[in-house]
Amino acid sequence: MAEWTEEIAHVAGTDLAIVKGGQGKPLLILHEELGHPGWMSYHQALAQDHTLVIPIQPGMGRSPKVEQIRTVHELGLFYLWTLRELNLGPIDVLGISFGGWIAAEMASADSKAFRKMVLVAPPGIKPPDGDIMDIFAVTIGTQLNATIYDAEATPEFRKLYGGERTPEQFEAFEEARTETARIAWDPILHNPSLPYFLQGVRGLPTRIIWGREDAVVPVSAAEAYRQALANTDAKVTIFEHCGHRPEIEKGPEFVKLVREFLA
């Protein structure tokens, strides 16, 4: 097993918790809206030839809230500042769900910070067909269950966030949802300006990955992202019989795709 650690770095004017593990070329992983899900199989596989750098979003886990971050675009600016201070650019980036939206905002501001970009079912752009799930109007359990197409066929679903739903874990979930709502409530989980500014991104190879049966962010948003990134080498891969978490629902195929793309 690849070893991983969580350390506190003083960057961008604050303390930021960062999970690190693996060996090889650095890979920035931006986690989802409920926080870092734990060290999953896809982390383990990618860590065989990449040093994973996973910042814990401000306001979640051991990273304190940064009041000056009021939008997802501003969160992207914060992470760009962090990359500069850590001397990590240009770097490959893998954004999972909300983390994919953050990566897209970062690319729209400074695409030269990245070498290659992988976006996994991100919100951020309003789908042309269907609506992004209002995760703030449902319980944590409902939200979690909606992320998976077939939980019985996805053993790692039960291992997310440490596996056990303790009071401490539910408190962490609520802290994460509170922070997500603070910066992404209105409009819910998208930025109407993002498609316009993504047109300015050039020379950034991008792979967009989605599950056909995604009940959180409709799969139609994949093509919306591809069109917005038309000035890059953006390609879409859609997994059949898959929901919002292709990284664990289609683990081996997902890892193969990402490794080959980043090679």
CATH number for the domain that contains residue 158: 3.40.50.1820
Strand runs labelled E in 56-185? 91-96, 114-120
The domain of 10 spans: 4-262
Total structural domains within the chain: 1
Judge whether residue 131 has pLDDT over 60. yes
Note the pLDDT of residue 86: 97
Note the pLDDT of residue 260: 98
Judge whether residue 2 has pLDDT over 70. no
Note the pLDDT of residue 54: 98
The helix or strand, by DSSP H or E, that contains position 248, with its residue range, turns out to be helix 246-249
pLDDT band for position 9 (cuts 50, 70, 90): very high
pTM: 0.97
Judge whether residue 238 has pLDDT over 90. yes
Judge whether residue 224 has pLDDT over 90. yes
Percent of the chain with pLDDT strictly greater than 90: 96
* pLDDT tens-digit readout, 165-216: 889 999 999 999 999 999 999 999 999 999 999 999 999 999 999 999 999 9
Residue pair 198/111 in contact (Cβ under 8 Å)? The answer is: no
* pLDDT tens-digit readout, 69-124: 999 999 999 999 999 999 998 999 999 999 999 999 999 999 999 999 999 999 99
Judge whether residue 1 has pLDDT over 80. no
Q: Residues 122-151: what's their mean pLDDT?
A: 96
